[in-house]
């Protein structure tokens, strides 16, 4: 598929959007979700779109919902609030919606890869529900998650988003206090820590906690980059460097 370097998007008709690459997180003005990496931007209006939001097709299918046809909407249809069936977070803008079944998906959630590779060391697979506990919240059941091929490591998509929101709030609260360090703070916002969570999860088992923490770094690097809309090796490497600090 041809990717235009600049174009006019129907959601922002007054100016052309230009493709840019960002190592700092941004808020997409389409779906209102966090993003990183490739985006389309209008500098005049400080307007940003995920690449997947800017290039969203009118309809898609998804492997988890074989009977559904998801159509693209600029805002959720109907008078009531709706939530994404992948991450359980509120739909605040662009969305894929199946009229017959009532399912909703954020564009970035709809584009989450079914498989994530981490330098061939670990493979993570997207699953619709968990049979083992999430390492963040400890819950099983419904909610899209990434699970390692060995099935020893699981993490809800919603839990990763919650960690990102917590980190973002810290950045915005400090934005006006120390503006010269905002870029460094923005870089760190995309790397929430699971160390304390995992150590509590494996209380009394130091060796296992250490191994899981190491795997958490590996998992977060690829999972966060996918959730933020750019599951590429470059973004994963940026996150990997931050995780190692």
| pLDDT score at 64 | 95
Relative to beta strand 47-50, strand 59-62 is unpaired
Tell me how many degrees the CA angle 156-162-166 measures, rounded to the nearest 5.
Answer: 150
Alpha helix segments (H runs only) across the chain: 51-54, 107-110, 157-174, 182-188, 195-201, 206-227, 233-243
Q: Are 134 and 145 in contact (CB under 8 A)?
A: yes
What is the pairing mode between strands 34-42 and 47-50?
antiparallel
* Residue 127 and residue 134 in contact, taking contact as beta carbons nearer than 8 Å: no
pLDDT of amino acid 154: 83
Region 59-110: CATH code: 3.30.60
**Residues of the chain scoring pLDDT < 50:** 1, 173, 175-213, 238-245
pTM across the whole model:
0.77
pLDDT tens profile 169-221: 555 545 444 444 444 334 343 444 444 444 444 444 444 444 444 555 555 66
Q: What is the pLDDT of residue 105?
A: 96
Cβ distance 123 to 97 under 8 Å? no
pLDDT tens sequence across 20-39? 988 777 889 999 998 888 89
pLDDT the model gives residue 176: 44
**What is the predicted pLDDT for the residue at 121?**
60
Strand order in the sheet with 65-73: 59-62, 65-73, 95-97, 104-105
Q: Which residue has the tokens 């400080």?
A: 46
pLDDT recorded at residue 165: 67
pLDDT at position 25, please?
76
pLDDT given at position 92: 95
DSSP-derived letter for residue 83 is B
pLDDT recorded at residue 81: 92
Question: What are the residue ranges of CATH 3.30.60 in the chain?
Answer: 59-110
Q: Can you give the pLDDT at residue 159? A: 85
């Amino acid at each position: 598929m041809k990717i235009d370097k600049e174009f006019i998007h129907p959601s922002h008709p007054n100016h052309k959007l230009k493709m840019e690459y960002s190592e700092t997180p941004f808020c997409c003005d389409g779906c209102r979700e966090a993003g990183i990496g490739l985006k389309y931007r209008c500098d005049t209006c400080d307007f940003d779109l995920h690449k997947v939001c800017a290039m969203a097709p009118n309809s898609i299918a998804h492997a988890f919902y074989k009977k559904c046809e998801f159509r693209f909407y600029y805002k959720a249809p109907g008078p009531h609030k709706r939530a994404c069936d992948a991450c359980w977070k509120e739909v605040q803008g662009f969305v894929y919606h199946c009229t017959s079944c009532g399912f909703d998906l954020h564009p970035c959630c709809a584009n989450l890869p079914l498989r994530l590779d981490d330098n061939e060391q670990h493979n993570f697979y997207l699953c619709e529900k968990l049979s083992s506990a999430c390492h963040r919240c400890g819950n099983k059941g419904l909610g899209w998650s990434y699970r390692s091929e060995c099935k020893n490591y699981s993490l809800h998509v919603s839990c990763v988003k919650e960690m990102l929101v917590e980190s973002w709030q810290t950045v915005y609260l400090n934005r006006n206090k120390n503006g010269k360090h905002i870029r460094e703070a923005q870089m760190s916002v995309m790397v929430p820590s699971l160390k304390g969570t995992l150590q509590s999860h494996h209380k009394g088992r130091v060796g296992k906690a250490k191994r899981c923490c190491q795997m958490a770094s590996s998992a977060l690097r690829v999972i966060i980059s996918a959730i933020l809309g750019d599951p590429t090796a470059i973004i994963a490497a940026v996150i990997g460097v931050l995780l190692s600090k």
